Amino acid sequence: MDLQISGKKAIMAGGSAGMGRATAERLAEAGVELYITARRKERLLKAAEEIAQKYNTSVTPVVADSSTEEGRQALFAACPDPDILSITIKPPPPNGNFLELTPENWRDSIDTALIGPIEIMRRYIPVMKDKGWGRIVNIATFSAKNPMIWRLMSGPARSALVNYTAGVSREVAQYGVNINNILPGMFQTEGASELMEVYAQAFGLQPDPQVVRAHFQEHNKIPAGFIADAADMAPMAALLCSPLSRFIVGQNIVIDGGQHYSLF
Ligand SMILES: NC(=O)c1ccc[n+]([C@@H]2O[C@H](COP(=O)([O-])OP(=O)(O)OC[C@H]3O[C@@H](n4cnc5c(N)ncnc54)[C@H](OP(=O)(O)O)[C@@H]3O)[C@@H](O)[C@H]2O)c1
């Protein structure tokens, strides 16, 4: 399928690993001029080089932490006028006892998972409006919709993000700017692997990635029967980044192998 985005400028904020990288690859394959960001330089440079070579396209790496004003300014300077913006950002790790969460923990979660994406969108929406076209896709989490007691540092801030985009997307759609969110379930990514020890501790398991994954699979009874790879969500993200999604506005697409029951 031709996504009709060849030659457009696209930012994948959080594009050096996991679902961000998988999305970046689908966009590069479709011929965009790509900008990818991350905090860790070495992995970011490697990803940019690999993607550029694989798809024979321009990929500019920008070391930038989306949760800080300084990081966001670095991104804005590197790419002031994108047509496409996708954002993923990593909130604090799974929490322990909810009674021990402090205002500082909450501020950290909100700075990262809510204010970061909002500030990036706030900068680029007027640019896209002026162009008369734009696409924004937040890669958030299914715990925005399905609360989990151990994901309080991720879910509540993302529920607020989803609320924000529900309102703003309806305002900006008239200018050809569509905003949608993807709410992923369990994915086998670099980020998930980094959290294996925390998960193992939280559930009293051996800190062995295979043991933890088997536990998740059994415990969550994912109807699809497996924990997905990042590549399993990227085609949907790329579609939402394209003109083919012109009638999809303010939606939250859950990609979780059927894990959570919900009619809509
Ligand atoms: N994997 C899952 O099972 C799962 C489930 C539900 C929701 N999610 C959500 O989906 C999103 C992607 O998860 P993932 O598993 O693909 O993560 P991942 O493998 O860790 O990849 C995250 C990417 O974003 C970058 N990044 C993270 N925080 C950033 C920040 N503050 N500023 C700029 N770049 C940042 C990372 O690079 P650096 O670390 O170098 O910055 C990396 O390139 C996250 O929001 C996560 O909460 C994941």
Domain architecture of the chain: domains with CATH? 9-188+230-255 (3.40.50.720)
Give me the residue label for tokens 């715990």: 143
Whether the per-residue pLDDT at 177 is higher than 90: the answer is yes
Give me the residue label for tokens 């008239």: 174
Q: Which residues line ligand 1 (CB under 6 A)?
A: 13-20, 37-40, 43, 65-67, 88-91, 112, 139, 141, 154, 184, 186-187, 189-192, 230
Count of C-beta atoms within a 10 Å radius of residue 191? 17
Q: What is the pLDDT of residue 27?
A: 98
Q: What is the pLDDT of residue 134?
A: 98
* CA 66 / ligand 1 centre spacing (Å): 11
Task: State the amino acid at position 246 in one-letter form.
Answer: R
* CA 20 / ligand 1 centre spacing (Å): 7
Q: Where are the alpha helices (DSSP H) in 136-208?
A: 155-172, 190-194, 196-203
- Residue to probe by mutation, ligand 1, list 45, 85, 90, most atoms within 8 Å of CB: 90
Q: How confident is the model at residue 4 (pLDDT cuts 50, 70, 90)?
A: very high
Q: What is the pLDDT of residue 33?
A: 98
Whether the per-residue pLDDT at 191 is higher than 80: the answer is yes
Closest to 264 (Cα-Cα) out of 256, 255, 248, 254 = 254
Whether the per-residue pLDDT at 202 is higher than 80: the answer is no
Whether the per-residue pLDDT at 230 is higher than 80: the answer is yes
Q: What is the pLDDT of residue 138?
A: 98
Q: What is the pLDDT of residue 217?
A: 79
Q: How far is CA 38 from the centre of its chain?
A: 12
Q: What is the pLDDT of residue 156?
A: 98
Higher pLDDT, 127 or 192: 127
Cβ atoms of 189 and 234 closer than 8 Å:
no
Residue whose Cα lies nearest atom 16 of ligand 1: it is: 18
Retrieve residue 234's tokens: 């990227």
SS3 label, residue 64: coil
Q: How confident is the model at residue 201 (pLDDT cuts 50, 70, 90)?
A: confident
How far apart (Å, rounded) are the C-alpha atoms in residues 164 and 175?
18
Q: What is the pLDDT of residue 124?
A: 99
Whether the per-residue pLDDT at 205 is higher than 90: the answer is no
Q: How confident is the model at residue 77 (pLDDT cuts 50, 70, 90)?
A: very high
Whether the per-residue pLDDT at 63 is higher than 90: the answer is yes
Residue whose Cα lies nearest atom 37 of ligand 1: it is: 38
Atom nearest to 67 CA in ligand 1: 31
Closest to 94 (Cα-Cα) out of 203, 239, 207, 246 = 203
pLDDT above 70 covers what percent of the chain?
100
Threshold 0.95, pTM exceeds: yes
Residue whose Cα lies nearest atom 47 of ligand 1: it is: 90
* CA 130 / ligand 1 centre spacing (Å): 30
Q: What is the pLDDT of residue 215?
A: 83
